[in-house]
């Protein structure tokens, strides 16, 4: 048994974020899969406040919330390449955008998935497109990286363009 365990569910983007961080740092860990819709005793004991995944257990100590877990992984396994920038300002900006995605993007994707009727779905799409435009502008300004590339993600680019045209009308 590894001294590192991750409680999670594979389709969760929050769990995937932690898995990526562990893999970047080449950390061996046991994946303890939670069944969707139920909560194991270990999860409830490890995260008694929020009672949700992901939870990282390292040397029998629990760390909760994916962004906090990623920061913990980056600090504990500091000898491998850093996940977050070393400059304090750049690190703060990376944390800001991580929180922005958690607070804005994921709820909008949920709203889109549960939207009832065409009007509600279009409103959710418009909000999601606004958020993607903001992320694109930040990525270009900060990192000179274009997130939406028509050659790689033509459907997503077309969807974003249709949404931005609708927002201008």
**Domain ranges across the chain:** 4-76, 88-168
Q: Judge contact between 137 and 106, C-beta under 8 A.
A: no
Query: Is the preceding peptide bond at 54 cis, omega within 30 degrees of 0?
Result: yes
pTM for the model stands at: 0.76
Cβ–Cβ < 8 Å for 8, 29: no
Give residue 63's pLDDT.
98
Task: Give, in order, the Cα–Cα distances in Å from 97 to each of 80, 104, 131, 138.
Answer: 23, 10, 11, 9
Q: What is the mean pLDDT of residues 9-32?
A: 93
Q: What is the mean pLDDT of residues 81-98?
A: 91
Q: What is the pLDDT of residues 147-161, one digit of tens each?
A: 777 887 787 777 666
The domain at 4-76 falls in which architecture? 3-Layer(aba) Sandwich (3.40)
pLDDT at 163: 55
Provide the percentage of residues in the chain whose pLDDT is more than 90: 50
Confidence at residue 159, expressed as pLDDT on a 0 to 100 scale: 67
CATH C-level class of 88-168: mainly alpha
């Amino acid at each position: 048994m590894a001294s590192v365990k991750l409680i999670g569910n594979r389709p969760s983007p929050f769990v995937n974020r932690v898995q990526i961080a562990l893999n970047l740092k080449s950390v061996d860990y046991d994946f303890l899969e939670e069944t969707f819709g139920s909560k194991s005793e270990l999860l409830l004991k490890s995260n008694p406040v929020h009672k949700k995944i992901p939870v990282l257990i390292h040397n029998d100590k629990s760390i909760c919330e994916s962004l906090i877990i990623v920061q913990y992984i980056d600090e504990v396994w500091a000898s491998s390449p850093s996940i977050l920038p070393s400059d304090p300002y750049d690190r703060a900006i990376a944390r800001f955008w991580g929180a922005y995605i958690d607070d804005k993007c994921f709820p909008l994707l949920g709203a889109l998935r549960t939207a009832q009727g065409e009007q509600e779905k279009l409103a959710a799409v418009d909000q999601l497109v606004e958020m993607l435009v903001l992320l694109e502008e930040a990525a270009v300004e900060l990192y000179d990286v274009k997130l939406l590339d028509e050659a790689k993600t033509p459907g997503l680019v077309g969807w974003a363009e249709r949404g931005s045209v609708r927002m201008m009308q």
